[in-house]
Amino acid sequence: MSEWDSGKNDGKPGWNDQPAAVADASEGKQSRQDRKLIDKLVMSMQVEQRRSRRWGIFFKFLTFAYLFGIVLLFKFPLGQGLESATGGMHTAVIGVDGPIAADELASADNIVSSLRSAFKEPDAAAVILRINSPGGSPVQSGYVYDEIKRLRAEHPDKKVYAVISDIGASGAYYIASAADEIYANRASLVGSIGVVAGGFGFTEVMGKLGVERRLYTAGESKGFLDPFSAEKPEEVAFWQSVLENTHGQFIAAVQEGRGDRLADDPRVFSGLIWSGEQALELGLIDGLGSASYVARQIVGHENLVDYSRTRSPLRNLVDQLGVSVGHGVAQYVSEQRLELR
């Protein structure tokens, strides 16, 4: 038997020893690679944990700052009173912006509160109603109109001026007509002395779909103008009388406020809306000018101080988040209410 067969090689590596050495080297290399891989994995996990902790701290701090800001806004609300310290004689400004309704910024409560504050302030030489509104509720407009009249009678030395910017129509003009004088831009939209109420009728659609309306009432007119039932001539006539009665109230208020300044033109009360230049010719306004112009040239105190009420911080936050959009759409679709337009 040869030494190759017997495995004896006198200390020299043979073919049986060589594969074992290679295998040991290979296993050692693989072990080192595994350890490196494990080390990298552990380090990566540690980095990720540190990063997660940092982001966690950041978001906790952001949430705390956000909540702290809300608390500060409620504790020290902005815009609920005067815009700034009066600093002597000035002209008070009260905004009438957007739809006039009980649940809007231009509600009677907000406007009347601002008016009372302005009239009570001895340093307010006059009051300017800065109007940018298409109108709205005749009830809310009537409340403001009556309060302006009352305050003017109580404080005869303090005049009220209405200044219309983009639009002062319908209920907004109703309010403006209570002022001593009305001003607007030549391109402003003024007037629209009328009343409107609208709805929808679904009877034909229901018939095509095979839907039957079942309405149960106690009181013969409780289902008055139901949009899912056929119109009744007597109900339409009654509703028209309500609109005409409200229109008559509107006309009487404007005539009382404007007096002989109104042109003898039947179109004035037709519901048409006019430009500022046309409104001046018809006697709907007294001149062309801005709030600054009136304060400087008419009142004589160009320092304007805003007495307007503003939305609460929470309401602004909700509006910014878009929650009010869905509420507004639902309200528009579901409600049918009388409006001055």
DSSP β-bridge partners for residue 183: 163, 287
Looking at this protein, which amino acid is placed at residue 43? M
**170 is annotated as an active-site residue:** yes
Output the six-digit token pair for 131. 């109007």
Instruction: Fill in the DSSP letter of residue 259.
Output: G
Strand pairing of 273-275 and 189-191? antiparallel
CA separation for the pair 248, 295 (Å, rounded):
33
**How many C-beta neighbours within 10 Å does residue 317 have?**
15
Contact call for residues 302 and 296 (beta carbons, < 8 A) = yes
264 burial class (0-12, 13-18, 19+ CB within 10 angstroms)?
A: exposed
Catalytic residue among 170, 177, 188, 308: 170
**149 is annotated as an active-site residue:** no
Which residues neighbour 263 within 8 Å (Cβ) at sequence distance 6 or greater?
Answer: 281, 282, 283
CA separation for the pair 164, 189 (Å, rounded):
8
Catalytic residue among 29, 40, 60, 222: 222
- The label of the residue with tokens 């179109």 reads 267
Looking at this protein, which amino acid is placed at residue 276? G
CA angle, 179 as apex, 173 and 181 as ends, to 5°? 95
CA separation for the pair 290, 296 (Å, rounded):
10
Nearest alpha-carbon partner for 257 in 164, 178, 166: 178
Contact call for residues 188 and 166 (beta carbons, < 8 A) = yes
DSSP β-bridge partners for residue 85: none
Which residues are designated catalytic? 170, 222
